[in-house]
């Protein structure tokens, strides 16, 4: 069977810094980050619109409707099947049904037991951080400081910082209320059967990164 691949699940509320820390972990263990949102956007960008599934994905996306577990699972397995190394799963699994499918994939594609990293912040922190969050319109890098129109600091990127239209306190409260019970479900499920690390996400980016490095 060969050496098992590592499967790391990164969990956190919106604006927890999960994306930034996932990039740090990816560089540290030579892993690729897998997020359902990214897979959906790739499917829409590269897909054949004579395929009914691609049409359904685009329709759901345009209406703001979450993709079904079946569609998410199909995209995820295709991605895993086409990858070779360690993987970091961004807020997946996110339901009991997804957990069961995820465990099937872990066994099928020769991964070791998943490692769960939960960057924990208060709901009010998630909402307050969103008031300052900006994103590059090209590379999508997240910034928690700066001004709209500033240049992106990523090397070779000519993008500008913008404010997402859905980054409002009202929408963020809804997203937090949706996400928190699902995160709790995953953490509770794996607490006694996998490595689960709860990281204090209220600290600075560098302090959070240091805490994660300790457990990896």
Q: Which pLDDT tens digit goes with each residue over 87-137?
A: 999 999 989 999 999 999 999 999 999 999 999 999 999 988 888 889 999
Choose among 18, 44, 33, 42: nearest CA to 83. Answer: 33
* Statement: residue 1 has pLDDT above 60: no
> What pLDDT, on a 0 to 100 scale, did the predictor assign at position 62?
79
Question: Going by C-beta distance under 8 Å and a sequence separation of 6 or more, which residues neighbour residue 73?
Answer: 98, 101
**Chain segment 15-52, per-residue pLDDT in tens:** 899 988 999 999 999 999 998 888 888 888 887 777 78
Choose among 119, 115, 157: nearest CA to 135. Answer: 157
- Max distance between CA atoms of the chain, in angstroms, equals 51
Quote the CA–CA distance of 21 and 15 in Å, as a whole number.
Answer: 11
Q: What is the mean pLDDT of residues 144-153?
A: 89
SS (H, E, C) 57-105: HHHHHHHCCCCCHHHHHHHHHHHHHCCCCEEEEECCCCCHHHHHHHHHH
* Statement: residue 10 has pLDDT above 90: yes
**Chain segment 56-89, per-residue pLDDT in tens:** 888 887 776 778 888 889 999 999 999 999 999 9
> What pLDDT, on a 0 to 100 scale, did the predictor assign at position 2?
66
Interhelix angle 205-215/18-29, nearest 10 degrees: 40
> What pLDDT, on a 0 to 100 scale, did the predictor assign at position 146?
86
Alpha helices in the chain (DSSP H): 18-29, 36-46, 52-63, 69-81, 96-108, 123-129, 169-190, 205-215
Quote the CA–CA distance of 137 and 34 in Å, as a whole number.
Answer: 20
């Amino acid at each position: 069977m060969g050496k098992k691949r590592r499967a790391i699940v990164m969990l956190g509320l919106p604006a927890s810094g999960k994306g930034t820390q996932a990039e740090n972990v990816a560089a540290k263990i030579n892993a690729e980050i897998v997020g359902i949102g990214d897979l959906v956007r790739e499917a829409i960008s590269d897909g054949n619109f004579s395929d009914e599934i691609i049409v359904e994905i685009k329709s759901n996306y345009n209406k703001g409707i979450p993709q079904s577990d079946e569609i998410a699972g199909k995209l995820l397995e295709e991605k895993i099947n086409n990858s070779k190394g360690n993987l970091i799963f961004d807020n997946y699994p996110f339901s009991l049904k997804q957990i069961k499918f995820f465990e099937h994939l872990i066994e099928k594609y020769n991964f070791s037991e998943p490692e769960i990293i939960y960057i924990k912040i208060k709901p009010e922190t998630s909402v307050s951080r969103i008031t300052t969050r900006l994103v590059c319109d090209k590379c999508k890098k997240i910034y928690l400081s700066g001004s709209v129109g500033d240049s992106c600091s990523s090397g070779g990127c000519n993008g500008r910082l913008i404010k997402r239209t859905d980054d409002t306190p009202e929408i963020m409260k809804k997203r937090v209320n949706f996400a928190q019970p699902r995160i709790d479900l995953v953490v509770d499920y794996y607490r006694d059967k996998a490595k689960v690390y709860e990281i204090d996400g209220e600290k600075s980016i560098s302090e959070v990164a240091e805490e994660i490095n300790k457990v990896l």
